[in-house]
Structure formats: structure tokens, C-alpha cells
Amino acid sequence: MRSLVHVAPDSGRVESLSEAVVAGGARLASAEEASALVWADPARASEVAAYVERMPHLGWVALPFAGIEPYLPAVRGRTDLVWTCARDVYSRPVAEHAIGLAVAGLRNTVGYARTDSWSAQVGTMLVDGRITIFGGGGIAREIISLLQGWRCDITIVKRTASNVPGATRVVEQSEALDAVRDADAVILALPLTEETRHIANAQLFDAMPPHCWLVNVARGGVVDHQALTEALRSGVIGGAALDVTEPEPLPSNHPLWGISNAVITPHVGNTPEMGIPLLAAFIERNVASWVSGSEPEGQIDPIAGY
């Protein structure tokens, strides 16, 4: 039965993911026959719970994103199943985007792009800079890897202060305020949980230096957007670059759109063109593990929520 896998629902990803299933050594099967479900459409997360009930032989569900907030009700409703997410799959492109946003902010590329005449010379280098990253997972590790050679002093803030290779230091979330006091850039790359919601709040912004830029490539809910708006307007921090917002898309009348030192990109740290080949390769590896009787990568902890 482990060799029978179903890919659904219909979306632009189905063909690539179906090819990955076959390359991994499984056969494509109907929902009624299959022991595994590869979910192909992130936009239809609300349908997963009902869909799995159609599959009497189901043992494993592979979700297409690293962030699983929309899927949590389904995951927690069927803890008898193995659930996996695309953890670490998109880390490299998201890390690249985070660094690009940080450089654009610190070097005032954003400010120059919004003027219509020659302006004063301002900017801070990221080379030899102090970077604080919230999160110690795949994106954080890729950021550290990409910054090798830039001689950055890197502080990691995470739930437990376990070792992260390449980081100068690792501290727990209770030390977050101290961790940002000397930072040139603060990058958010952590899961959204009850514990991390609005971890970037007024207190944190007050602790950051006035030139420091906030970069969010995590989830919109880790930032208190009202407090951020006030911090940007009052000059408490240098600026903010957000690839994710809450809500998403950010409404066109939201005050952040009108702030000159706020940059908002439409969740493009990982685009379909970048992400689908990476996801397909990951699914192929995981299907091969499932067929052989091994544990697939990226298993979700229903209690922790990631």
C-alpha cells in the first residue's frame, strides 16, 4: 500500500508533483486506494480536513508549505496520521530575499528609489555588521551560510539556546530585547505560534537602534503592525521590509503603504518558479522514504504547531 500515492487537488503543481511521486518509486492512485496524499494547492488548505476523510488507507499527508497555520485544525484533528510540511525546502531563496531586503534598507536603496532628484549620501554597510535573527531553522541557517565572508556578528534568538553553526551567539527568547540593542538588522525567520505572535512589538522596536532595519520573512503575525507603524512614523527604527503581512494581502488603505521607510513585497521570498522544482525534489525524496518504510522528512509536531 505504501507504493500508492494520490496527488490533489488540481492545481498548477499537480503535474510536477505527480512526476516527483513516480520518480520516488510510487504509483499514482485514487484517493480511495492510496496510503499517502500529496497536497498540491496551498490556497485550498481549508479543504484538507474533509479530503483526508475520503481516504480509508491514508497514513501520510505531505503539505506544500513550511508554514502550516491554515492546516493546523486538520493536523490536530487527525493525529493518527503522519503529517509533513516543506520545512527547509524554500530556505535558500527566502534567505537570499531577506539579505537583499536588509541591504536595500541599510544602504538606503529604498530611499533613493523614491526620490526624484539627487539627494544626500547616507547608508550603513552590512559587511562587518551586527545581525540578529529570530529563529534557528533552515532559513536562519541559510542566512548564516550566505553571510559567510561578510564578517557579520550574528546573534540567534530561539526558543531554546541550542547551538546554531556559524552564529556568534545563541540566546533564548527571554533575552530578545538585549539581543537587538546593537543590531544593524533584525531578521524574523521563525514559526508563527501562540508563543511568537507579535514577538516584534513596541518593546522590541524601542530596544533597537534608530538606524536598525526590521526584515520579516516569517509570517505576518509575528509583527505587531500597529506598533510597527508607530515606530516607523516616529523614527524609533530605521525602517522595515516585510515580505509577509497580517492580513495578507495587505489592504491598499493600510497606513504602512504610505510610509517612506517601509518596504512591502508580496510574499515573493519564494515564488512558484523558484519553489515548485524545490518542492518536487523534496517530495521525490520523501516518497522514496515512504515506499521503503523509512520516516519522511519534515514531520509536524501537532502540539507545537510546526
Environment class of 119 (CB within 10 Å of its CB; exposed 0-12, middle 13-18, buried 19+):
exposed
DSSP state of 7: E
Residue 219: active-site member:
yes
Q: How far is CA 262 from CA 6, 72, 112, 192, 254, in A?
A: 43, 31, 13, 22, 12
Considering only CA atoms, which of 37, 47, 34, 45 is closest in space to residue 14?
Answer: 37
Helix (H, G, I), strand (E, B), or coil: what is residue 277?
helix
Q: How far is CA 287 from CA 2, 6, 68, 214, 284, in A?
A: 9, 11, 20, 38, 5
Catalytic residue among 97, 141, 219, 225: 219
Angle at 249 between CA 143 and CA 8, to 5 degrees: 80
Helix (H) or strand (E) holding 198: none
The torsion region of residue 298 among left (phi > 0), alpha (psi -120 to 50) and beta comes to: left
Please give the span between the terminal C-alpha atoms of the chain, in angstroms, as a whole number: 27
Non-local CB neighbours of 6 within 8 Å, separated by 6+ positions: 28, 29, 30, 31, 33, 34, 36, 37, 38, 55
DSSP state of 133: E
Considering only CA atoms, which of 167, 232, 173 is closest in space to residue 197?
Answer: 173
Residue 169: active-site member:
no
Catalytic residue among 76, 198, 267, 285: 267
Considering only CA atoms, which of 216, 95, 69, 189 is closest in space to residue 147?
Answer: 95
Q: Point out the residues that are catalytic.
A: 219, 267
